[in-house]
Amino acid sequence: MELFPSLEVEWLNGWVLLAFEFLIQGSLLLIFPKEVVSRLFSRSGWSVKQRVFLILGKVFSLACLILIILTPLKINSSAFIVGLILYTIGLIGLVAAMLNFKDTPLSQPVTKGVYKRSRHPQIVSLFFIFLGICVAIGSWAALFTLVMSKLFQHFGILAEEEVCLKRYGESYRAYMEKVPRYFLFF
């Protein structure tokens, strides 16, 4: 791992893994009903402060994306193998979480499948995907921007939970008490 790897426009940069993840996620979103997609990306009920934190998180996410796109994969290193394993775990988790989300009636909170282990498995899975890419490109700078984006995203997660409490009431509160926000902790 390097603090600031050399940035180059190459065919075997981190963008390859990023493009594959976007292809998978985009394909799923295309086959999902519109109501499910709008529920997935709804920001209604968020305060101004929560939206500001969302924007700050997006700025760090953009910086991370730029580093990923312009940094070559460290294909001949053990870091690449570790990164690929993390990436694959995240990709499998994301697909499972999205399918669980799609199959839940709009009038109910999502509590089945991987949502029995985490209230936000899509977020956790995306973190593993991007963590895997950051490790595969061997960039501490990309890893730092990823962690910063996720710290700000935490406030968005809190906002989502507030909205879910208002929408689903006591059933969501009971779910919150039983299932951790992120896997195994919090």
- Cβ–Cβ < 8 Å for 155, 55: no
Going by pLDDT thresholds of 50, 70 and 90, the confidence category of residue 162 is: confident
Going by pLDDT thresholds of 50, 70 and 90, the confidence category of residue 28 is: very high
- pLDDT greater than 80 at residue 185: no
- pLDDT greater than 80 at residue 138: yes
Helices 78-102 and 121-137 meet at what angle, rounded to 10? 160
User: pLDDT, tens digit, for every residue of 61-79?
Assistant: 999 999 999 999 999 999 9
Q: What percent of the chain has pLDDT over 70?
A: 98
- How big is the CA angle at 80 (ends 78 and 85), to the nearest 5 degrees? 100
User: pLDDT, tens digit, for every residue of 29-60?
Assistant: 999 989 888 887 877 777 788 888 888 999 99
